[in-house]
Amino acid sequence: MTSVAIGIFDGVHRGHQEILREAAKYGAVTVLTFDPHPTSVFAPERTPSALVTLADRIQLLKEHGAQTVVVLPFTREFSAKSPDEFISEILVNQLGATHVTVGANFTFGHKAAGNAAYLKDHASGFEVSAVALSEDRGSAISSTRIRNLIVDGDVERANELLTRPFYLRGPVVHGEKRGRTIGYPTANIGLAEHATIPADGVYAGWLTVGDKRWQAAISIGTNPTFPGVRGRQVEAYALDQTGLDLYDQEAKLEFGFRLRDTLKFDGLDPLLEQMKIDCQRAKELTA
């Protein structure tokens, strides 16, 4: 029995987990997903930012019940397949599906000509389940909704829908090294081109490098207190840690709570006073 669940599954959020649970009722689950995002092929300028990397998407899918994850490259050639070709070539011949589970809004085939109803009507040797979109507070749970919450800085609500803390991954890169001179050495995180970055502000969360995970105060922004023009930075201070050498190592930065907006202070002393408050609050929230 090969139970196939189909979707992009960016973030593997609560709604995606419902699809995986439904698929597991019908046998060992094979997830069929796609990379890159279809929008990047048809309208690159509208490519949505990613909630997780492809590697993390695969790992999260396995954590939530997938035995196997098949990633199909989404190309113009692939997108030109008719719904019937997708069914026969991919679902039947390649995957040997005996049951297929999709979200109720699933579309497939050239110009999205196929949908869940079409899949049910044209299934060849397999059954189909279409899972209604999960809702929270009257609105459907979707990757787009979660993405918007994160960009607005509402990481707490996003985490509820993800069922885990939202996180970013990237190498620890060299920054201006100002933090170490004022007693708050930070790890600056280099991010992928299409990463979803929370709104500028200060957050409480966790910094993980290798097998070490520390409570952290996280800052996103341009450091407006100090003169000069600089790009947005994502940096984390591992609470009460000094002397850490993290450069060029991969870091995972989890966001738990938003503490405040980015502010411009009238000098170093009021900034340090506020940073002390921020760190204490972050320590309490992430304990």
CATH code, 92: 3.40.50.620
Are 133 and 192 found together in one domain?
Answer: no
User: For the range 36-45, what are the long-range contacts, defined as Cβ-Cβ under 8 Å and sequence gap of 24 or more?
Assistant: 36/74, 37/8, 37/10, 37/74, 38/8, 38/74, 38/79, 40/74, 41/74, 41/75, 41/76, 41/79, 42/79
- pLDDT tens profile 136-169: 999 999 999 999 999 999 999 999 999 999 999 9
Residue closest to 143 by CA, chosen among 5, 6, 13: 13
Whether 135 and 260 map to the same domain: the answer is no
Assigned domain for 149 exists: no
Same domain, 252 and 184: yes
Residues 16 and 9: their CA atoms lie apart, in Å, by 6
Does 148 map to a domain? Answer: no
CB 23, CB 99: distance < 8 Å:
yes
| pLDDT band of 32, cuts 50, 70, 90 | very high
> 117 and 11, same structural domain?
yes
Q: Are residues 136 and 176 in the same domain?
A: no
> Does any domain span residue 264?
yes
Q: Residue 54: which domain range?
A: 2-140
Phi, psi values for residue 79, rounded to 5°: -65, -20
Peptide bond connecting 73 to the previous residue in cis, omega within 30 degrees of 0: no
Question: Is the CB of residue 125 less than 8 Å from the CB of residue 91?
Answer: no
**b/e map of 129-148 (b: 16 or more CB within 10 Å)?**
bbbeebeeeeeebbbebbbe
Q: Count of domains in the chain?
A: 2
Tens of pLDDT, residue by residue over 51-91, are: 999 999 999 999 999 999 999 999 999 999 999 999 999 99
Is the domain of 91 the same as that of 177? no
For residue range 242-260, list pLDDT tens digits in order: 888 899 999 999 999 999 9
140, β-bridge pairs: 135
Question: CATH no. for residue 244?
Answer: 2.40.30.30
Checking if the pLDDT of 183 tops 80, the result is no
Tokens representing 34? 């796609």
**200 and 251 together in one domain:** yes
Domain co-membership, 25 together with 113: yes
Judge whether 106 lies within some domain: yes
CA separation for the pair 23, 45 (Å, rounded): 34
